[in-house]
Each structure stands twice: as structure tokens, then as C-alpha cells.
Amino acid sequence: MLALLRERPRYGFDLVRGLSQAGGLLTSEGTIYPLLSRLRREGVVTTTWRESDAGPPRRYYALTPDGVTALDRFTEDWCRFRDAVDTVLRSSPPRSERSE
């Protein structure tokens, strides 16, 4: 979710839609809003209200400098984890090739 906010500020439902379009990372507004509230309390995101052409004003979320740092750290950790898993998967023969 933070990676989507790196692109630009977004409102909650826009984040839900963006996650869904990113390979089916399904979530709901009921999951997103508590997480966004926690991230706001932790200083990772900030919010602003903007008028909407399609209804009431929307709360937009944007990364703070601490949010950018958190996202950069997560990205580094994720890449190390992904690489480690890839190494294990490549070194293990497929099940069909194992002797039973």
C-alpha cells in the first residue's frame, strides 16, 4: 500500500482498487481504513481532505518522509527475503525428479 502512495496521494477506495489491480491483492475498505489510521498515528502517512466531484469530500493519504524511509527499508527487506526464497527453490529439485 505504501508503494502506491509513493506515486501520488490517494484516497482509501483508490488504494483498495490499486491493490486489486496489482495482481489480485484483494482487500476491503474495512481492512484498509484501520491500517491507514494506524499508519497516520505512527507518522508514516499524512492526510488532507479534498472536495470530490462524485460526492462528499475525500480523505487523501500521502507518504511522509518517515513513510518513504519505512517503504525503502521494507523494499530492501523484501528483496533479501525474495532472493533467499528463490535460492532455496532453485536448489531444490522439483518433486517429480526426487527419488521416493
Question: Over the stretch 48-97, which tens digit does the pLDDT of each residue have?
Answer: 999 999 899 999 999 999 999 999 999 999 999 999 999 999 997 777 76
47 vs 20, which has greater pLDDT?
A: 47
Domains and CATH numbers, the chain: 2-92 (1.10.10.10)
Judge contact between 97 and 47, C-beta under 8 A.
Answer: no
Q: State if pTM tops 0.95.
A: no
What pLDDT band is residue 46 in, cutting at 50, 70 and 90?
very high
Judge contact between 61 and 12, C-beta under 8 A.
Answer: yes
Given this model, what pLDDT does residue 94 score?
72
Given this model, what pLDDT does residue 97 score?
65
**Whole-number Å distance between alpha carbons of 32 and 60:** 13
> How many other C-beta atoms are found inside a 10 Å radius of the C-beta of residue 86?
10
What pLDDT band is residue 22 in, cutting at 50, 70 and 90?
confident
